[in-house]
Amino acid sequence: MSLLQEEREIILGNEYVDAFDFEEVEAFVKNASKELFISHHFKNKQKMLVQPRGGFPTYKKQFALYEFFVDANVDVLPLTIDSNTRLNDYGTAQKMLRLSEENEMDMLNGYPLINHGYRTTRKMITNFNKPVSLRHGTPDARLLIETAIASGIFEIEGGPITYLLPYSKNFPLDKAFLYWKYVERVCANYSQLNEPINRESFGPLTATLVPPSITIVIQLLEMLLSLEEGVKSFSVSFSQQGSMLQDIVTGAVIKKLAKHYAEEIGCGDAAIHLVYHQWMGAFPTNKDYAEQLINMSTVIASMVGADKIITKTREEATGIPTKEANAKTVADTQYTLRILNGLPNVVDEEEEEILTLEVKAIMEAVFNDPADTLWRKVFNSIKNGVIDVPFSPHIINHNTMITIRDAGKNIRIIDRGNVPIPDRCFEFEKSKCDLNKDTTGIVNDIIHDIGIMQ
């Protein structure tokens, strides 16, 4: 028996798992409907795929949410996991699920997949026969993704960096890399049976003034960590940044460089997709304004040429959205995409060149780290600040890079920290900003820059 299989048996021997049947699950994936695979839809797509967010504790409510989404002409269904499950606390999730079922009141902020189990969840997924995307935020997602794939969920979001640095203060980053290696291998193995399982990275990170160079570097590294384990279908992603031009430039550079680096490691045969998140920062409380913002995001996603868009709702500022508000966003976004025709081709060669140089310089610094494997190189690079994510709560993150918005609302780096931004690029970034301010002025600008959409 392989080491991986031994580890899988330990993971699936968890007391909250009801007899995991490896052979039956393998046969299920092998014979599963192509419609369940988002990789199949990407291959044959005519339009940008629309995916909302959403997860409720009970089977009944999740089923009702999916009915609403299907009525609204959804392309990809979400399954958002509750926060206890994300922290592997299945006992609390179990208790809260029971309370939610008994009291008609939601005691969890998502679907506790482990407690429902794959046999039950699979009934729901195969019933709708649409691709489902797993949304979670789990550093140790080994049991979760085993259960997800066994349920018929063939897209797995996340990664060791993007699911840790924005969410956790002190979960060990090196452990996260190893747990995600398991995820990549399991996804790669199942990918040989039918259409490939799609892996998606979480580009928004902290969604707070993260410069595009950092976003792209982390997307590329998580892509490489996934492809080197044998994953054949991968989505890089980023969220609306606040300037249409910067989004278009980011989209162009990430597409070009994803292909470049995939080929560099001999994985040019993998399919790479681009996902765009509607605005992930602070939302306006005015629900009509929120809808305008969502609509604008859809227009920019089209300009960027995204393969999939992930939507927000008019209730974003108020709490967990109702299924009605959620379905409305799907219908509205589909409408905008349908009427949005004859888009111009916008290219800014100078901005593209600068961003490409920045990304390549950081990537090179990561590759030049003396560690023996890619994940260790990446780990060291985060530890020593070569990669620095603004506003990450994690203790390993350097927090020395400072970014603000220029007059065009582009995110610019005014303090590089330890990130190897080439001098020429740094001068370019600074030349776009007013640097004659003291720290109080800059802090006020940052507060303003974070809240630009409110």
Partner 1 sequence: MKVVTGVVGNDIHVVANRLMELSLHARGYEVFNLGVNTHLEEFFDAVVETGAEILLISSLNGEAEGWSREVRTLKAKYKGLDNLVMMIGGNLTVGSGNAEEIEKKYKKYGFDLVCHQVDLNTGLDSLEAFLEQKSLEQRSAS
Contact with partner 1 (CB under 8 A) among 305, 391, 422, 430: 391
Nearer to partner 1, 183 or 207 (CB): 207
Residue carrying structure tokens 């310089």:
361
Nearer to partner 1, 209 or 330 (CB): 209
Contacts of 103 (CB under 8 A, 6+ apart): none
First to last CA, the chain: 56
Contact with partner 1 (CB under 8 A) among 347, 395, 435, 452: 395
**Only segment of 15-23, 154-162, 392-400, 422-430 that touches partner 1 (CB under 8 A):** 392-400
Contact with partner 1 (CB under 8 A) among 169, 175, 424, 448: 169
Candidate list 53, 122, 146, 157, residue with the active-site label? 157
Tell me how far, at minimum, the Cβ of 400 lies from partner 1, in Å. 11
447 binds partner 1 (CB under 8 A): yes
**Only segment of 19-27, 56-64, 132-140, 165-173 that touches partner 1 (CB under 8 A):** 165-173
Q: In b/e form, how buried is each residue of 120-154, taking b as 16+ CB within 10 angstroms?
A: ebbebbeebebbbbbbbbbbbbbbbbbbbbbbbbb
Tell me how far, at minimum, the Cβ of 78 lies from partner 1, in Å. 22
The answer to whether 133 touches 311, Cβ cutoff 8 Å, is: no
The answer to whether 257 touches 216, Cβ cutoff 8 Å, is: yes
**Only segment of 44-52, 338-346, 373-381, 391-399 that touches partner 1 (CB under 8 A):** 391-399
Tell me how far, at minimum, the Cβ of 442 lies from partner 1, in Å. 8
Q: Return d(Cα 361, Cα 367) in angstroms, integer.
A: 10
Task: Report which of 55, 78, 204, 175 is spatially closest to residue 130, judged by C-alpha positions.
Answer: 78
Nearer to partner 1, 279 or 375 (CB): 279
Residue 293 structure tokens: 């913002």
Contact with partner 1 (CB under 8 A) among 230, 305, 393, 422: 393
Contacts of 27 (CB under 8 A, 6+ apart): none
Residue 312 structure tokens: 């927000």
**Only segment of 33-41, 193-201, 213-221, 387-395 that touches partner 1 (CB under 8 A):** 387-395
Per-residue binding string, partner 1, 422-441, x by CB under 8 A, is: ----------------xxx-
Number of residues that bind partner 1 (CB under 8 A): 21
96 binds partner 1 (CB under 8 A): no
Residue 340 structure tokens: 């949005």
Contact with partner 1 (CB under 8 A) among 33, 92, 399, 418: 399
Query: At what angle are helices 142-151 and 3-12 packed, to 10 degrees?
Result: 80
Q: Return d(Cα 209, Cα 380) in angstroms, integer.
A: 23
The answer to whether 224 touches 199, Cβ cutoff 8 Å, is: no
**Adjacent-strand bridge partners of 308:** 49, 275
446 binds partner 1 (CB under 8 A): yes
Per-residue binding string, partner 1, 202-221, x by CB under 8 A, is: ----x-x-------------
Q: Return d(Cα 296, Cα 278) in angstroms, integer.
A: 9
Tell me how far, at minimum, the Cβ of 106 lies from partner 1, in Å. 18
The 8-class DSSP code of residue 34 comes to G
Backbone phi and psi for residue 160, each to the nearest 5 degrees, phi listed first: -65, -30
Residue 120 structure tokens: 């039950």
Contact with partner 1 (CB under 8 A) among 70, 299, 450, 453: 450
Tell me how far, at minimum, the Cβ of 103 lies from partner 1, in Å. 21
What number of CA atoms fall less than 13 Å from residue 274's CA on the CB side?
Answer: 25
157 is catalytic: yes
Candidate list 8, 86, 314, 416, residue with the active-site label? 86
**Only segment of 232-240, 338-346, 357-365, 390-398 that touches partner 1 (CB under 8 A):** 390-398
Task: Report which of 370, 416, 360 is spatially closest to residue 220, judged by C-alpha positions.
Answer: 360
Nearer to partner 1, 123 or 169 (CB): 169
445 binds partner 1 (CB under 8 A): no
Nearer to partner 1, 372 or 438 (CB): 438
104 is catalytic: no
Nearer to partner 1, 147 or 168 (CB): 168
Residues 322-351 within binding reach of partner 1 (CB under 8 A):
none
Q: Return d(Cα 142, Cα 180) in angstroms, integer.
A: 7
Task: Please count the other Cβ atoms lying within 10 Å of the Cβ belonging to residue 203.
Answer: 27
Pairing of strands 198-200, 233-239: parallel
Q: Return d(Cα 389, Cα 399) in angstroms, integer.
A: 7
392 binds partner 1 (CB under 8 A): yes
Instruction: Please identify every residue annotated as catalytic.
Output: 86, 157
Binding footprint of partner 1 on the chain (CB under 8 A):
167, 169-170, 206, 208, 390-393, 395, 399, 402, 438-440, 442-444, 446-447, 450
